[in-house]
Structure 1
Amino acid sequence: MSQESIHSHSLSDPETFWSHHATRLHWHTKPSRALSQSTQSHQWSWFPDGEISTTYNCVDRHVHAGNGNNVAIIWESPVTGTTEKYTYAQLLEEVEVLAGVLREEGVKRGDVVLIYMPMIPAALIACLAITRLGAIHAAVFGGFAPAALAQRIDGARPRAIMTASCGIEGAKGAIPYRPLVEAAVQSASFKPSKVIVWQRDQHRWNQPDKRGGQRNWQRLVKSARMRGVRAGPVPIKSKEGLYVIYTSGTTGLPKGILREAGGHAVGLELSIRSLFGIRGPGDTMFCASDIGWVVGHSYILYAPLLVGATTVMFEGKPVGTPDAGVFWRIVEKHNVNVLFTAPTAMRAIRKDDPDDLLIGEVGRRGGLRSLRALFLAGERSEPSIVSTYQDLLGKYAARGALVIDNWWSSESGSPITGVALDSSAAVVQSGSGSVDQVPPLSTRPGSAGLPMPGFDVRIVDDEGDEVPRGTMGNIVLALPLAPSAFTTLFQDEERFYRGYLLRFRGRWLDTGDAGMVDADGYVHVMSRSDDIINVAAHRFSTGSIEQVILSHPLISEAVVVGIPDPLKGSLPFAFIHLKAEAGENVPAVPSAELFKQVNSLVREQIGAIASLGGIIQGRGMIPKTRSGKTLRRVLRELVELGSKGEFEKAVSVPPTVEDGEVIEVARKRVREYFLEREKMKAKL
């Protein structure tokens, strides 16, 4: 069966489709049905009367099946020069003991425990220990500022915080967590009763404050192990919460995405087998994300362990720890089959290794022959980056290796679209016979692939009416969503309806993204809905204009924002990074020739109506979040203020920004641009 026919089956007969895939997991109480949906279409639940333990499915059952000696977790930490491996049997031992510790510290079924951790194995063990007790973890990116952490403490109201003495930021060295955590707890309205601290050698959390409930993690575990303290798995109802992950709201407090236990396990188990082609023991997945993001939850922690594969956990950066070849050397060292990262990481690698010397060094000695695919997600992957790495994989990786862009969100929990490496894994079959593997469909640079099982993707206009294929519009999802997706917000059903369903009056769930579906059903995600520019009543996506600009041979990165225009309403305005051969210390205002060339490309490929209102050129001025998303809103604010001469006025910067210094670089470039433009006008 093709990927399209499998997807069609998942929508036309979800009961049969998902009930079949649920049998691949261990249920303490088997569900009698797959889907329960109320007369109010925005309320649904997967496997509602089933009971499951996700930790049991991730760890215990593999040990019981005789696979305890298989490697579960590989920790690669170039920032500390450390590599560690945990077998499934060792992982079970660590999780059982830590769960026993948490139980003694008062954590019970339904409680929330907040995790504020660097990328170390203890973070994964903590997640599994919390869910082993039937509790809910809320992981927050380690290094968030106290104000952002305090917001999440007040939202989650955790019984305990599990943290570490420090994180390590590449060349910056150790970042102490104690002042961050203590300031957050002090400013939060809700006060957790315990703070459990993992002590790292690089920086200690000296003399924990016992009156403030601070505990030494390692000492608690040592004591429990000596006393034989262990905790068994606590099964919970399928529709009970497994974890909460906070995603920044456009206004107000962060939104707590609640993941239900049963649907999450079934949806993820299928996605890693079918989309990512990781089938089980012997396969290795390297997801270069962070446990603080949903990608890390899904494909560093849960999905690889659900199928009994090996997961690589990475503490470092794609460049600078120590260089742009670190990903490729990890692939070689551990025979990685699938690498999953953000397009931003690949751009950074390309920038530091423009001649592909480092990937070529590993590739020529056969170090990438295990690699079957490079998956990209987190933001739109421009066609040039996909094509570049597709060529390199074709030269060095496994035969038929693909670069696959896929699109998803914190809300979806797994990819909404993609190109499945092994769609046969999703076939619902009768009897015990095997299904022949189906070759993956072709990829299309610029597209995020086809819809995945359970996700009914539609394109609608602003009134909620579907538009013809090939037409730009709002990307929405029909309900119910696939099992891996959320069904509500944590303790805030009203905000769930208001934020996701109200815009289209409950007909569709609004993803907040804009794009189109082409004639063959491939989904093209062009931008966020609020990044649609309305130019003289014509709607353009920033992504489509960026794609055209990047076709210029001297430009390595481009970001387009909309700026107000009294005549046309808005005009597209571009920030561009130049390639090395274009020069280093260039002025903010590009040459008349470069502007003419770029604008001609836009006019030719999109239309004269989309002509650019301006270009700022330079390097190191495009701010991103730690998960790789471009902060277009910040650049838009800077340009709007710059056009008014208000160069020093503050802009709204989210706590997820990767490097605040980049914003100041952008501010200086905006100032230089508008002052130079004023000089040029004065000369005329």
Structure 2
Amino acid sequence: MNLKIASFEEYKQVYQQSVEQPEQFWEGIADNFLWRKKWDKALEWNFKEPSIKWFQGAKLNITENCLDRHLEEKGDTPAIIWEPNDPNEDHRILTYKQLHDKVCQFANVLKNNGVKKGDRVCVYMPMVPELAIAVLACARLGAIHSVVFGGFSAQSIADRIIDAQCEVVITADGSYRGIKEVPLKSVIDDALVRCPSVKRVIVLTRSHTGVSMIKGRDVWWEDEVKKVETQGNPDCPAVEMDAEDMLFILYTSGSTGKPKGVVHTCGGYMVYTGYTFANVFQYEPGEVYFCTADIGWITGHSYIVYGPLSQGATTLMFEGIPTWPDAGRFWDIVQEYKVNILYTAPTAIRSLMSFGDDMLKGKDLSSLKKLGSVGEPINEEAWHWFDEKIGHGQCPIVDTWWQTETGGLMISPISNVTPTKPGYATLPLPGVQPILVDENGKEIIGNGVSGNLCIKFPWPGMLRTTYGDHERCRTTYFATYPDLYFTGDGCLRDEDGYYRITGRVDDVLNVSGHRIGTAEVENAINMHSSVVESAVVGYPHDIKGQGVYAFVVSPNKHESEELTRKDIMMTVSRIIGAIARPDKIQFVSGLPKTRSGKIMRRILRKIAEGETSNLGDTSTLLDPGVVEEIKSGAL
């Protein structure tokens, strides 16, 4: 079966078939990939335990699909184009052959350092080609990678290393983000104080900053590569994996404080990311595809590395930020590399909009054919700006809805196939069966309705478990509504059957397209010495989509209120990372609580949003007076 759908009529037919005969549909898609042994059974599942198994008995290695199978025809085609943070530094291009060689070489480095199938490897690196090489080298050996975003704190990294019991860490001396230099190795050193499981740290030279190298534990990437070169056997055969063997763990925030390790497996994830990439972006050979995400997030895993490489695409990796050295940086990159497909986040679009159209003057964006948006629903104003100023009205915009847990795109237009509507993720992709339910889990039928978004049938890219804690996977995603996967999102389905995501319905914020659990932020704030208690909610933010608003009880402030605010922000940065830092901190004498002690976040959310006229019934609160005080002090 062809991966790409050519028309809206064809979409309707294929979708119908994928729902009526899902197993046959996915077997047809899977036939486009390289298997060492085909599956005995396409699917076995239940959402009670949950237990989901795709392509059982099949044998493969995902890197043979991303690298080896392209060597004959695409060996000299660019696989990765890398643009550094500093525009004056040389860019790098790795062809499929060069990438294959480097992945084999580094897989041999990992082997020399004791890494074998099933081991967990933590990767905390800058956005350089070696990050993609490290991830693929792990996959080639059957080691399970756990990439941690380069902006997380030592505490956050330690939590993830301990949870996955990683024995090896791959990092760099430092990384660059705009004018900032991030001391990655020293952050790792701080984290490893708490991580006795780690036996080896491999350090790439990037920023040439001085770092501490501990004898017997720390080795330089470059020295280890030289050892492999002197051994003289550059190849590294890919380890045979079962379709349901673990490929990677990626930690995501939840509504409780502890991050959870979402587990994706080899076969289903490969088929799903490859299919959705080829189909949604309608990728044509030779096109240059630029996803602006970081590989530390799921978008980077699925749509910088595995999806594009499985399809022999040319994928562009950017180390820097969109606003440095000025807010025209993305457009310079598009112009320089003649980018055809640009996939970015609404946060970036809104941020670049705010600099005005001067930044677009003299930039040649005529190579662009397709645009995409990811991370959160794109608001209409940003959609129109993206359409008119960047796409010049010529480029379809795919507004993609999906999650870390779904592995790949779920509800999205298909470029040049699906008629789009600003603000709508439009229609489910073939093989995806969404339904809306009310609070009691009763399905809401028909169009012109809204409810909680669930998925009623498995798809190959879905999570299989949360690492080391299957019960948490069950209770988070499968226990709210029996026999359904609950996304945690509210959703509207309009008169045409188009889906529009309306935001989280649980205590999770979507800040700049990244999920942050309110409990996690509250735990961090509460660790500050002067804080007695806190409650965190989201509020509309012009750039980030949602900002973090913290209501904090702190009767014994140290020196000034402003200084205490800064101290609390610093505490959150140290414990989670700057991404979770509150945008507003309001000091209050108490929080609105029910008589059973539950904080009424609904009321705080309305105050944070400035909707103080309609707070609903406050008579059931322990101390209704506290609401008036919070209202009058709102920021």
User: How far did residue 509 of structure 1 move?
Assistant: 1.2
Q: Does 2:152 correspond to 1:144?
A: yes
Which of 616, 634, 638 pairs up with 2:551?
638
Which of 100, 103, 117 pairs up with 1:109?
117
- Show the counterpart of 2:276: 271
Partner of 1:285, secondary structure, is strand
In structure 2, the CA distance between the partners of 1:157 and 1:351, relative to structure 1 (3 Å rule), is same
- Say whether the 8 Å CA contact 2:466–2:473 is kept in structure 1: yes
User: How far did residue 392 of structure 1 move?
Assistant: 2.1
User: How far did residue 659 of structure 1 move?
Assistant: 5.4
Deviations 1:340-374 (A, max 9, x none): 1110001111112x1x2232421xxxx32221222
- Say whether the 8 Å CA contact 2:148–2:296 is kept in structure 1: yes
- Say whether the 8 Å CA contact 1:147–1:184 is kept in structure 2: yes
1:37-436 matched pairs, under 5 angstroms = 37=45, 42-63=50-71, 65-79=72-86, 81-172=89-180, 174-188=181-195, 190-205=196-211, 208-211=213-216, 213-229=217-233, 230-279=235-284, 281-319=285-323, 321-352=324-355, 354=356, 356-362=357-363, 367-395=364-392, 400-421=394-415
- Show the counterpart of 1:518: 494
Aligned residues: 553
- Give, as a single letter, the amino acid of the residue that structure 2 aligns with 1:517: R
- Show the counterpart of 1:663: 583
In structure 2, the CA distance between the partners of 1:69 and 1:474, relative to structure 1 (3 Å rule), is same
- Superposed CA RMSD in Å reads 3.2
Q: Does 2:446 correspond to 1:460?
A: no
Q: Structure 1 CA distance, aligned partners of 2:553 and 2:435? A: 34
In structure 2, the CA distance between the partners of 1:273 and 1:656, relative to structure 1 (3 Å rule), is farther
Q: Structure 1 CA distance, aligned partners of 2:632 and 2:478? A: 48
- Show the counterpart of 1:597: none
In structure 1, the gaps of 5 or more residues are 422-438, 534-540, 543-571, 578-621
Q: Structure 2 CA distance, aligned partners of 1:293 and 1:531? A: 20
User: How far did residue 37 of structure 1 move?
Assistant: 2.4
Deviations 1:459-505 (A, max 9, x none): 1111000124322211111132x11121222222111111111111x
- Say whether the 8 Å CA contact 2:172–2:206 is kept in structure 1: yes
Deviations 1:273-323 (A, max 9, x none): 1111114x312210101011000001111111101010000011111x211
Q: Structure 2 CA distance, aligned partners of 1:660 and 1:513? A: 20
Partner of 2:191, secondary structure, is helix
Deviations 1:122-155 (A, max 9, x none): 1000011111011111100113111100000011
In structure 2, the gaps of 5 or more residues are 1-8, 512-536, 556-560, 589-606, 613-627
- Give, as a single letter, the amino acid of the residue that structure 1 aligns with 2:228: A
User: How far did residue 78 of structure 1 move?
Assistant: 3.0
- Show the counterpart of 1:33: 41
Q: Structure 1 CA distance, aligned partners of 2:349 and 2:586? A: 22
Q: Structure 2 CA distance, aligned partners of 1:298 and 1:472? A: 29
- Give, as a single letter, the amino acid of the residue that structure 1 aligns with 2:319: E
User: How far did residue 33 of structure 1 move?
Assistant: 3.1
In structure 2, the CA distance between the partners of 1:661 and 1:248, relative to structure 1 (3 Å rule), is closer
Partner of 1:132, secondary structure, is helix
In structure 2, the CA distance between the partners of 1:6 and 1:97, relative to structure 1 (3 Å rule), is same
Q: Structure 2 CA distance, aligned partners of 1:511 and 1:501? A: 9
User: How far did residue 40 of structure 1 move?
Assistant: 5.1
Q: Structure 1 CA distance, aligned partners of 2:408 and 2:375? A: 12
- The structure whose RCO (Cα within 8 Å, separation 6+) is larger is 2
- Give, as a single letter, the amino acid of the residue that structure 2 aligns with 1:58: C
1:413-562 matched pairs, under 5 angstroms = 413-421=407-415, 439-468=416-445, 469-480=447-458, 482-504=459-481, 506-530=482-506
Partner of 2:37, secondary structure, is coil
- Show the counterpart of 1:584: none
Q: Structure 1 CA distance, aligned partners of 2:337 and 2:366? A: 11
- Say whether the 8 Å CA contact 2:176–2:207 is kept in structure 1: no
- Aligned-pair identity in percent equals 34
User: How far did residue 66 of structure 1 move?
Assistant: 2.6
In structure 2, the CA distance between the partners of 1:153 and 1:227, relative to structure 1 (3 Å rule), is same
TM-score, scaled relative to structure 2:
0.81
Q: Which range is displaced more, 22-31 or 305-314? A: 22-31
Q: Structure 1 CA distance, aligned partners of 2:268 and 2:372? A: 23
